[in-house]
Amino acid sequence: MSRFSAPIAEQIWDMKYRLKAADGHIEEQTVEDTWRRIARALAQAETDPVAWEDKFYTALDDFKFLPAGRITAGAGTGRSVTLFNCFVMGTVPDSMGGIFDMLKEAALTMQQGGGIGYDFSTIRPKGAAVHGVAADASGPLSFMDVWDAMCRTIMSAGSRRGAMMATMRCDHPDIEDFITAKQDAARLRMFNLSVLVTDPFMDAVHSDGAWDLVFDGKVYRTVQARDLWNRIMRATYDYAEPGVIFIDRINAANNLSYVETIAATNPCGEQPLPPYGACLLGSINLAKLVSDPFTGKATLDKGALDDLVRVAVRMMDNVVDVSRFPLDAQAQEAQAKRRIGLGVTGLADALVLTGLRYGSDEAVAQTDIWMRAVARSAYLASVDLAREKGAFPLFERDAFLASGTMQAMDADVRAAVSEHGIRNALLTSIAPTGTISLYAGNVSSGIEPIFATSYTRKVLQKDGSRTEEVVEDYAVALWRQMHGDTPLPEHVVTAQNLAPMDHVKMQAAAQKWVDSSISKTINCPEDISFDAFKDVYLAAWDMGCKGCTTYRPNDVTGSVLSVSEADPAPQASQGADVVYLADPFDRPDALEGHTYKLKWPGSEHAIYVTINDTVIAGHRRPFEIFINSKNMEHYAWTVALTRMISAVFRRGGDVSFVVEELKAVFDPRGGAWVQGQYIPSILAAIGGVIEQHLVRIGFIGGAGLGLKADPQAVQMAVGGQPASCPSCGAFEMVMIEGCMTCRACGHSKCG
């Protein structure tokens, strides 16, 4: 009897979390084996591991506690991967040597699977004098381009590509260029961008005051604060970036403000961290704790919640001791502060099960009650751990209790911390939970509303047949089990029919009891006015949020996948095919293709590139490539390239990343000018030929849209439908929790 409530949940487990040997041999037969592996690995930090293993297993059972994907996939496997999700790198020095030392550290961190954040405010602005070399500085954005290129070459552990967050202070002289940097569709594709907004700046915005742009004590120029704010808002309105982080509020609330200053966050923004800060994530599945759902007696079991949170805190504290770290500085930082990020998922479903409409005053009040209960249990559990194992090494009682977060905490919690100390400096965070929410039966993600009550996936089977699969929200599926085809209650709402202020109120209610931050997207209608859009951000500021991320569908950002709530299982896309990637496509007897002649300057012989195509699910796609030249100098690498690229093509999915990787290769001997364009290497030229072919057959929408992390790439579509997921090929890319995310496999551009 499967423990999975939906086929998609089992598919996610098999693709992402099930332990398999390098040769593909399956090591875990059931999800219970996975839970046992995790429980056993985390219990190794206990003096009585056997007893705690069973308690940990019970917490994991039935998807009640959901450790983040890196823990679920990596714990107990013996693999050299980090179990931490979030990293902020060291402060970037304002020197060439220091900058490239930081670049190396970033590469090592992403290689082990960590998403990273950087504050680029420490680099002198463009045009500033560089003493000793009689030159002007190129500015922080030029170095962000270097980071971006590095990130494109790194494959994170678990086959995820690198994800990065870049921040810049609102008073940096290059802030205006930072705000508009990603309006160039080919630039900084691997970065999310956020502006660090200070309290004085917000005061100046309200008063329409002047605002100095300053670096190293020098005022470079003065602007009107409200004009700069409007530029941030206009960029976000049109391009969905940059986000806004209220950095002074974060530092004032921080339990550790006496030993650290925060200037950056991880890629999705839920973890503001100091230099070399690291944090792990996990979520309590609130939907699983509701008893008597859809009845007048429906309630969330407070006793079960308390027990589960206490065990989860202990499990996550143990991760600090059993995890590997990419850098020694990250290990030292984590062990000195023992930061964890325990959050929730399934909040919207839990509200539905208890009869509350997401965004209503009653739901806001209930969210406050539940999140307060989570915070209380987490802090008291950490106090108990401090009594047993000791407080975190940098704990200082009076300074810790003086922080903004602790000032707002209940008196009995403050008294317990004062008497016994606390094991973990920070404990709560609301992370993106797209993949683990699917794995848990498609519960609503984090504190987000239900995205859609249901949708239909077409699944291409290995034998070539196609099946249809209805994916329902967890609460909706439970309603169907209990009430059949009876219409859903009126309090069941989705992200598409909520007012933006409903989102803000819910985020603010949760933030009150979250000591780190929250990953949340505030969905705005396409026709929202610019003034009303700005009001969303001002409301987030006024209500006490630590940041704000919005998404307004338009011609630039793309459209959120539309669904019809009147249809119990709307057709998401006629072409929404998931291609299983375990086995390559079989080669048909005959294929159609094109041959392209490539003449490289200085080379005696031309290179001929032949690409043959097949048709899968009604779409033409590349199947194999042949690269030929009479120049024997090229023979070995052209044969190798032919075999490797053909193997990639035959595996399916969005293979356009091949273009990106080849076009990024440079030849240290120098490139060449071809038809008025500088090409950095022969390999880059071949990448251009492949790109030309993909455009020709309609696989991508145009030159420059083959970047795997390019948001415009996921806009392009056949017949007006959203394009396929870069990971699984399904036409299910939607904006969830601030990132384009695949509802079929959980792939996210944020890593």
DSSP secondary-structure letter at 273?
A: E
Place of tokens 């944090």: 279
In the three-class reduction of DSSP (H, G, I as helix; E, B as strand; rest coil), residue 302 is classed as helix
Q: Which helix (H) or strand (E) holds 670?
A: none
Sheet holding 607-616, edge to edge: 592-598, 607-616, 619-629
Sort strands 264-265 and 243-246 into parallel, antiparallel or unpaired. Answer: unpaired
DSSP secondary-structure letter at 609?
A: E
Going by C-beta distance under 8 Å and a sequence separation of 6 or more, which residues neighbour residue 743? 438, 451, 455, 471, 561, 572, 730, 732, 734, 736
Which residues are paired to 678 by β-bridges?
Answer: 673
Place of tokens 């700046």: 201
Catalytic-labelled residue, pool 260, 270, 448, 691: 270
Q: Which helix (H) or strand (E) holds 380?
A: helix 361-389
Backbone angles phi, psi at 215, to 5 degrees: -145, 130
Which residues are paired to 428 by β-bridges?
Answer: 342
Catalytic-labelled residue, pool 85, 192, 254, 266: 266
What is the chain's alpha carbon radius of gyration, rounded to the nearest angstrom?
26
**How far, in Å, CA of 543 to CA of 520, rounded?**
15
**How far, in Å, CA of 251 to CA of 335, rounded?**
21
Q: H helices then E strands: how many in the chain? A: 24, 31
Residue 712's alpha-carbon distances to 147, 184, 224, in angstroms, are 21, 11, 32
- Decide: 631 and 638 in contact? Cβ < 8 Å: no
Which residues are paired to 674 by β-bridges?
Answer: 677
Q: Is 268 a catalytic residue?
A: yes
Alpha helices by DSSP H, listed for 87-215, are 96-111, 140-152, 175-180, 199-207
Going by C-beta distance under 8 Å and a sequence separation of 6 or more, which residues neighbour residue 408? 512
Backbone angles phi, psi at 691, to 5 degrees: -60, -45
Going by C-beta distance under 8 Å and a sequence separation of 6 or more, which residues neighbour residue 134? none
Q: Is 750 a catalytic residue?
A: no
- Decide: 228 and 176 in contact? Cβ < 8 Å: yes
Residue 404's alpha-carbon distances to 256, 322, 513, 544, in angstroms, are 10, 31, 11, 12
Q: Measure the CA dihedral 331/332/336/339, to 10°.
A: -30
Single out the residue of 9, 24, 11 nearest to residue 583, CA to CA. Answer: 24
**How far, in Å, CA of 179 to CA of 234, rounded?**
10
Backbone angles phi, psi at 180, to 5 degrees: -100, 5
**How far, in Å, CA of 218 to CA of 230, rounded?**
24
Q: Which helix (H) or strand (E) holds 392?
A: none
Q: In degrees, to the nearest 5, what angle opens at C-alpha 541 toward C-alphas 535 and 542? A: 85
Q: Is 396 a catalytic residue?
A: no
Active site members: 266, 268, 270
